[in-house]
Amino acid sequence: MKKVTICLMLVLFGSLIFYHPVANAMDGENLFKTKCGQCHKTNGEAPVFSPVKYASSQWERFFVREKHKRKKDISGQISGNELASIKQFLIDHAADSDLPIAAGLK
């Protein structure tokens, strides 16, 4: 019985580890398109600031320096977890990443 319980716990834990990053990556893209796209859009379509607009180090600096707060404080509209997912999406798909993409394009 102990072996079965331990195996089930390992399977559950393992599935959570593998599921979580995928969910965050997908959430980051959707959040970027919906939350950021509300203000940053071209012709009502894809957000102006697509991930490939900057290198990953530039996106990192943008968030570290909290540059968005200089123009508009969005803290009431985007939670810390949402912001982290958006940041990860932008860095993962920046111009110098292994998977660069423009917003709305794949």
Output the DSSP codes for 17-36: HHHHHHHHHHHHHHHHHHTG
Asked whether residue 68 is domain-assigned, the answer is: yes
**pLDDT, tens digit, for every residue of 42-74?**
666 655 678 888 999 999 999 999 888 877 878
For residue 42, what pLDDT is reported?
A: 64
Encoded tokens for 33: 């398109």
Asked whether residue 87 is domain-assigned, the answer is: yes
Asked whether residue 57 is domain-assigned, the answer is: yes
Whole-prediction pTM: 0.66
Asked whether residue 34 is domain-assigned, the answer is: yes
Q: What are phi and psi of 41, to 5 degrees?
A: -140, 155
Query: Considering the chain, what is the average pLDDT of its residues?
Result: 75
Range of the domain at 56: 2-92
Question: What total of structural domains would you count in the chain?
Answer: 1
Encoded tokens for 87: 């940041």
Asked whether residue 102 is domain-assigned, the answer is: no
